[in-house]
Structure 1
């Protein structure tokens, strides 16, 4: 370190020192306010640390008074004016403290006038006393003396910790010198080493300090000493911070600004963010990615050459010694080999330069750095890493070639395509790291995204298209084709079902083939763009799956892709993530091989509209031109109704733009309705694999209105868009409407307008990237420490409670499904039919319930009615609550963990119950009591105190309503005909599903929230 000849201000603490000087007496060092003042007591008790200093400074900065002379000590001569013991506890004052009187009354308030302090620059303070007309410079030495005089309790009042941060420590008396590693010299060729900026600056500080020492020793003039002190102050300040606007930049001899200590630490390229939080790493690889639908979604194809370079340190044990010994013999050049051995003594042996590898014997606890092999756990990443699904765990699968292979289903979470994208692969270097990757980051664990409670991994492109084509009603396969496809099915118990057509030849439907590998689930859903809600629509848009058999429906984007309640979502919630992974893998293998057999191509014929279609589009275009002419005339005549907040011109542009933009949708509907069913473009759009209605419309019918920044093309020349239009032409063609389609070709003006629209899109994308990236960074930094604790609360790093229960229900979003509560929309008749027992009917329960149960209910009719009425009243209360308080609008979709309808249907299928003919052996009273017992076990917030009970009721209210309304005694017995075993199965599954859905302690919910907002904003 360098011992300074004179104390100097630390540029980083000058503002805090300035605040302190405005709060204390410069003569005696005491605080300028009595402890007895209520305002001070309020600040001390309610604020801590820096906030307390700011509040006390606001209280005292405008006071131009004298130092108080009494009221701050507590002894017999002056009664204690501060009665609150909490105040003294904050200051660490205890009346039985032996040193109390001596410490506290060491310096009594002096009563002198307080000078006025002003800050002239980043390291100059001035002081003006009432007796003088001009201000004097307040030296760092004087300030140091004032701060040293401060009382220990006054320091604590100002918010300082007297053991870790005393005010006098904010004045520099010595300067630490960093070691050479911080400021390395650069050796240029054979010339002498070039020193670092910090070294040059330290040399300058040392010279200035020695010069000042000499001036003081020689008793030089005060002006010369002051100049030297200011120079020392300047050099130390610019050594620490060299980018303050008010401070002249310190430069090297060639005029380049010096990179100060703070600039080396802060910012994206600084030491913290550039070299500590984020850094370049070893054990990683980067290459171009290629598609491979034949590998599993949790695998990544790794080139063989990369596998020879990337290694994993395997510890030698008796169990694996023989295997590792063989790898050592193979050496670094073989495909399954090793590169290094690290002996138990720490000696590293390079096998590439070791000739006698066969003589190397492995001892226990030696480490062999072996090549990457199949099924090693790796992390795969694509930048920008916008959410946690941008880094996922995969199993390595060694393959020939030079690119990484990725299953197509994984492209969505990575936002990857195969037009030259590169991705990174990282190999964890310990068993604990591998375990964490496998159980936390693995692809099956990321199938459901917490962002929207739905799958982010699902079938895409050709597999999705093949699913639709395979499940159409007229898709049939002969015996040979089915047998070939069955070879790709990896289920052990697969059995060829009876053919659905026997004559003239045996044929199996595509639905039957799909059912061969479908997990045993029950599901009802509608395909995309379905308009018929009947049980079996004519267009086969209702998907019905019973016990893993696809009975009806066409599978498309909504049912097998990334939609909520798609098959992937249902399989995960009904079974588990591994079954869902296997389903995706199996589906791709079978349907892709079938599509290869069937064939699918797109040709120019698919892009040509029929004359009838073109005629309809032409009629619509004529109507559009006519309506625009009418709007133009009404605007010129002044009869156009002006919209609120707009001028006449803005209203005109808005009306015309709305109509011209709507035209593309109308023409798209015409093209879609008139196209042949087997049009390949239409098939892709219908499946959801590629394209949209607008794409088809632009290819076949009309490109439509081109927009620049959300408006029609603006005038670029004088009152016109292009030179070959009339001035002040506001017609469709002159303002960017392209009435030709891509297949017809665009005219030169249309092509120019189309290019304008495309360029604004590219510019918007480029600008949006940086803006949304910074938004996401701020969100994530603000919430990065928000974490679920073991008591269920969400707290930050300061242990402050952010939320008492995550999402107010304590549920993990990946376990929730959107469900409708039927009770909300039931009228009184429906309610009675669904829930109320009529014991007075002579035929009550006949053919539905056991005779013994009916007799028992009639024998104890009074007690039975009491319990049944209790259930009915509870459901009526819930219906009233839903209608009046929770969903007054009448639409009630809720996110809840148990899909009770699907669970009941599964129970029926699993236990072979026929809901039309079987009798139920359940007793209504037992059902009500059992359901109550299970629902009482669904606890998110444990505790018997009032607040815990209130939080528990609020957290589980909607779930309780759903369960009570679907597990009502009459519903289970009369509608579902459940028996005792099936009923117990349902209750057990409800309890398990609830426990699984409680959010795990340690979940970093702040980071998840930040990325869930930031990632979609970037798209």
Structure 2
């Protein structure tokens, strides 16, 4: 700070004071050290100290915290040395006559005065570099009133005043308590200058009562210097303006206004290859575009061309730097705040355009979470060439297709090579189809099979599965569109789409050109054909309109009946729900059914030429629900959790606590007139959307905790202090953009189908001669070693199948893996022109050995130690199983008919693609993971979703549940209890159902033998969370228990201390009356068709104060005492729940 030209001096304090920023750490250090011997309170050879040093290597803060926790309770020093009770310095000897004027009270802690040089002065204003104080003339005449001062200026003035007062008092020999008060006041002013929000201290304020803004308040928080200025939107070397769409720009281009391009510069180094071009820019100077602003010589001298009289007289030399204007093709960083995910900050190529807004491709507008309605974005130009190649690969992958209609007829192609394709129709005149035009756009030799959004599922099975009457099956073979209608499903961002395959196989540059060609064709087609929507597209025919009206009338009548039942107390609550929740569930079900029926009627009446349908089917905009709202009706759902009189004003015509039709369900078409009352749910929905913005701080917390996590060069995932988070990224070490969903073929088939498809049958000579060449057939039939090798291959696949069924017990065969093997086999068939009718020259043993060798080459974790080998096996387990099942010998020679040359190419391609799919070192996976969680969290609903039905339960979902998980909440809002069932009830849902009185708690059934108890449904319920009494006393609340029996509803006497689950400590509050342990008998209502359980014959003890008999159970806990016998069970009585 002594070299900073913005400061003019410092203040030397008369007494040392503490810096509040280091006070806490200083106190921790002092409390860890012995007061007498200055040694650590804990012995240095303590095993805990060695453990702390090992765990906190390179983490001093963490080490101090652990050592402080270890020394916190120590009252005896373990340093091992003799305590030194003396401290201080030796005083010089001498005689001096003391008078009353010279004698005064000694200062506080005189032995510590020698420590003063250890405290450096707080140099907020360092000394001048020159001995003479400069004379600074005023900028304007001094006004009569004092000018406004900064808060720090006021605080520094207070420090100077109290410091001068303290120095004067010391010189004048003031009393010790006066000096102590001055030191306290000086400490207060210095502390509040650093932090004016210290707990336990009054705030320093202006005369108006406003608290002063201290240094900490200026730096921290969203409005502070770091986040508000250094990391803010409006900073130096950046441009900011409104964005607008431009369909003529490429996907990786950004249109920059000329005024911005003339102001922002790029430092280009002068080389022999660009010296002439840069010399011309220097000659033009800063007044003309394109020009230059500065010249930086190799010795560091900077020449400002804005003020140079003749820039043309300047001559450049190799090694100089020229800060020229921004030009076409420069790489810039384009950022949209808030940066919700990785796509919000990407690299773009500059295209200089007129006017005053940034222009973006339409396809890109959705990626930074913007809309073409006027939001602002920031542009930053790099100052050196290093960031240029780092920003380029980010701009291309995973950008959605044009938000316009993707049609068949593509009328224009800018990259046409002049060769006209052969017409699809020759007579009566030559005609070309849109498939031929689009085939000219598809890059390379891509193979892809997709379906249109209207493709029926029943067409994928049966004998005619290869025929698509509606042309809804999309097949791209060898870069040519064979059949199908393209839509957003084929060209969108989903995995396996045409764009994703192009990126994986051809790279980002080819994919960018692919997108640009699609957009060019669509723009020219729209100029010729156009697209519009009229009022006629919104009106249904008479028959459809009558069906919609009938559905609406029936829904209204059903809702009125439910309301009347609720008012007449005839509505019975469903298990697990209150009366209001039951009412909401029934009304919501009625309205949803009506919405679905009207929407279905509206969509069935649409013709093939309806513009609404064309726009929705192509994926350009809208959905089927929007068609239903326009043509059928708009049903507003329930407003969950809103109570009249508390959250909703009574002035809306609602009755407090009542059931109101206008509140719970509304109907109307979007182009109808809506009454003011009817718009209320729409405003509430918008309010919930605004509330969703308040939860974005979750993403910030995640990012700040994981922003330093990255993939290192040893493939481990570590943070900034080299803590290992994962041995491999995602435990498999693969990058997320290089994997696809693939099916495990061996998981689902039956044993017979599995053997038929994967076992190489060398005993069927006829089939062998049909698939293999003659010399291979003779070799297989005569060589026992080959037959044994094929048997071992099938046994290995059988073992793999058993492993998969353990990993995926539900039978879900779709997993995420790299290298789409089936598509790569298809590519090999097309490249090597494989004829599926000719026998193959591929030896089955070569297939088995080639797959084994390939599995050994696919290495994720290097190393021969047991831990590395286990990690390698875990990382490649699923892919090796998929590899062995797809590239098995029978499928290679019989199903795919690959040749030996094609098989060798396939193995090399798999190895190459697998290595490319490994996560790259330097990938900031922590920020990527935080954004992947934070961005969807903003879209989550805030209210609780209600499941209707007998097995329904209220759970915490959405952002509240996510917040509980992140905060590791010890008290979740909706806790549940899982009960494990044994015996026949574990597999019989009817036997597991427990009958409970109306309004009480119920159990949810899962087929694996689990049961979940929910919280009490409200007053008037017999609640299994409370302990009903058998003696008439009050019910005793009890916590949830793990019950290893079929018992769900327990009947306990409040005067007894049970030990029901284990012989350990009881979870109940002990009763003052000592009793013996006992067992419980629980009457479970019998399901329909089952016999009624007989009374319990087991002996039961009694309590001296209990007038009734305590029920018993055959599940008696272990006990050593003897209980008085009873011959029968008393009636089971319950109490109402206090909730």
1:190 aligns with 2:141: yes
Question: Closer, same or farther in 2 for the Cα pair 1:4/1:281, shift >3 Å?
Answer: closer
1:422-461 residue pairs with structure 2 within 5 A?
A: 422-438=376-392, 440-441=393-394, 443-444=395-396, 447=397, 455=398, 457-461=399-403
Q: Which residue of 2 aligns with 1:914?
A: 835
Deviates more, 1:425-434 or 1:6-15: 6-15
1:1006 aligns with 2:926: yes
Question: Closer, same or farther in 2 for the Cα pair 1:50/1:893, shift >3 Å?
Answer: same
Distance in 2 between residues matched to 1:782 and 1:170, nearest whole Å: 39
Residue 812 of structure 1 and its aligned partner are, at CA, apart by 0.6
CA-to-partner distance for each residue in 1:967-1008, whole Å, 9 max, x for gaps? 111111111111122111111110111000111112111111
Residue 36 of structure 1 and its aligned partner are, at CA, apart by 8.5
* TM-score when normalising by structure 1: 0.81
Q: Which residue of 1 aligns with 2:739?
A: 816
Q: Secondary structure at the match of 1:302?
A: strand
1:768-779 residue pairs with structure 2 within 5 A?
A: 768-772=692-696, 774-779=697-702
Distance in 2 between residues matched to 1:187 and 1:702, nearest whole Å: 73
Residue 828 of structure 1 and its aligned partner are, at CA, apart by 2.4
Match of residue 527, structure 1, among 419, 442, 452? 452
Q: Secondary structure at the match of 2:266?
A: strand
Distance in 1 between residues matched to 2:241 and 2:50, nearest whole Å: 64
Q: Which residue of 2 aligns with 1:961?
A: 881
Match of residue 274, structure 2, among 284, 302, 320? 320
Q: Which residue of 2 aligns with 1:575?
A: 506
Deviates more, 1:794-803 or 1:662-671: 662-671
Match of residue 717, structure 2, among 782, 788, 794? 794
Distance in 1 between residues matched to 2:909 and 2:508, nearest whole Å: 17
Q: Secondary structure at the match of 2:352?
A: strand
Match of residue 667, structure 2, among 707, 732, 739? 739
1:297 aligns with 2:239: no
Question: Closer, same or farther in 2 for the Cα pair 1:938/1:491, shift >3 Å?
Answer: farther
Match of residue 244, structure 1, among 188, 195, 198? 198
**Residue 904 of structure 1 contacts residue 986 of structure 1 at CA under 8 Å; is this kept in 2?**
yes
Distance in 2 between residues matched to 1:437 and 1:971, nearest whole Å: 43
Question: Closer, same or farther in 2 for the Cα pair 1:294/1:239, shift >3 Å?
Answer: closer
More helix by share: 1
Distance in 2 between residues matched to 1:254 and 1:289, nearest whole Å: 44
Question: Closer, same or farther in 2 for the Cα pair 1:711/1:602, shift >3 Å?
Answer: farther
Q: Which residue of 1 aligns with 2:84?
A: 107
Q: Secondary structure at the match of 2:262?
A: helix
* TM-score when normalising by structure 2: 0.73
Q: Which residue of 2 aligns with 1:82?
A: none
Q: Which residue of 2 aligns with 1:466?
A: 406
CA-to-partner distance for each residue in 1:616-657, whole Å, 9 max, x for gaps? 112221332343244345445655442344321231123212
Match of residue 765, structure 1, among 667, 689, 711? 689
Match of residue 902, structure 1, among 800, 823, 840? 823
Q: Secondary structure at the match of 1:239?
A: helix
Question: Closer, same or farther in 2 for the Cα pair 1:188/1:713, shift >3 Å?
Answer: farther
Question: Closer, same or farther in 2 for the Cα pair 1:821/1:10, shift >3 Å?
Answer: same
Residue 242 of structure 1 and its aligned partner are, at CA, apart by 1.3
CA-to-partner distance for each residue in 1:768-804, whole Å, 9 max, x for gaps? 22321x1111101101111111222111122111111
Residue 301 of structure 1 and its aligned partner are, at CA, apart by 2.0
Match of residue 803, structure 2, among 863, 872, 881? 881
Residue 6 of structure 1 and its aligned partner are, at CA, apart by 4.2
* Structure 1: runs of 5 or more not aligned: 74-103, 111-138, 149-167, 448-454, 471-481
Distance in 2 between residues matched to 1:989 and 1:923, nearest whole Å: 20
Residue 206 of structure 1 and its aligned partner are, at CA, apart by 3.9
Q: Which residue of 1 aligns with 2:20?
A: 11
Q: Which residue of 2 aligns with 1:176?
A: 123
Match of residue 752, structure 1, among 661, 666, 677? 677
Residue 873 of structure 1 and its aligned partner are, at CA, apart by 0.6
Residue 863 of structure 1 and its aligned partner are, at CA, apart by 0.4
Distance in 2 between residues matched to 1:863 and 1:551, nearest whole Å: 45
Question: Closer, same or farther in 2 for the Cα pair 1:566/1:714, shift >3 Å?
Answer: farther
Question: Closer, same or farther in 2 for the Cα pair 1:544/1:337, shift >3 Å?
Answer: same
* Structure 2: runs of 5 or more not aligned: 1-9, 88-105, 940-1139
Q: How many residues align?
A: 895
CA-to-partner distance for each residue in 1:522-567, whole Å, 9 max, x for gaps? 1112222533223323332221111122222221121112222111
Q: Which residue of 2 aligns with 1:863?
A: 785
Q: Secondary structure at the match of 1:398?
A: strand
Considering Cα pairs closer than 8 Å and 6+ residues apart, tell me whether 1 or 2 has the greater RCO. 1
Q: Which residue of 1 aligns with 2:326?
A: 372
Deviates more, 1:396-405 or 1:354-363: 354-363
Residue 827 of structure 1 and its aligned partner are, at CA, apart by 1.9
Q: Which residue of 2 aligns with 1:225?
A: 179
Q: Secondary structure at the match of 1:823?
A: coil
Distance in 2 between residues matched to 1:619 and 1:140, nearest whole Å: 97
Residue 285 of structure 1 and its aligned partner are, at CA, apart by 2.5
Match of residue 259, structure 1, among 207, 210, 213? 213
Match of residue 619, structure 1, among 540, 543, 550? 550
Match of residue 671, structure 1, among 579, 602, 614? 602
Question: Closer, same or farther in 2 for the Cα pair 1:173/1:946, shift >3 Å?
Answer: closer
1:597 aligns with 2:531: no
Distance in 2 between residues matched to 1:342 and 1:700, nearest whole Å: 67
1:524-563 residue pairs with structure 2 within 5 A?
A: 524-532=449-457, 533=460, 534-563=465-494
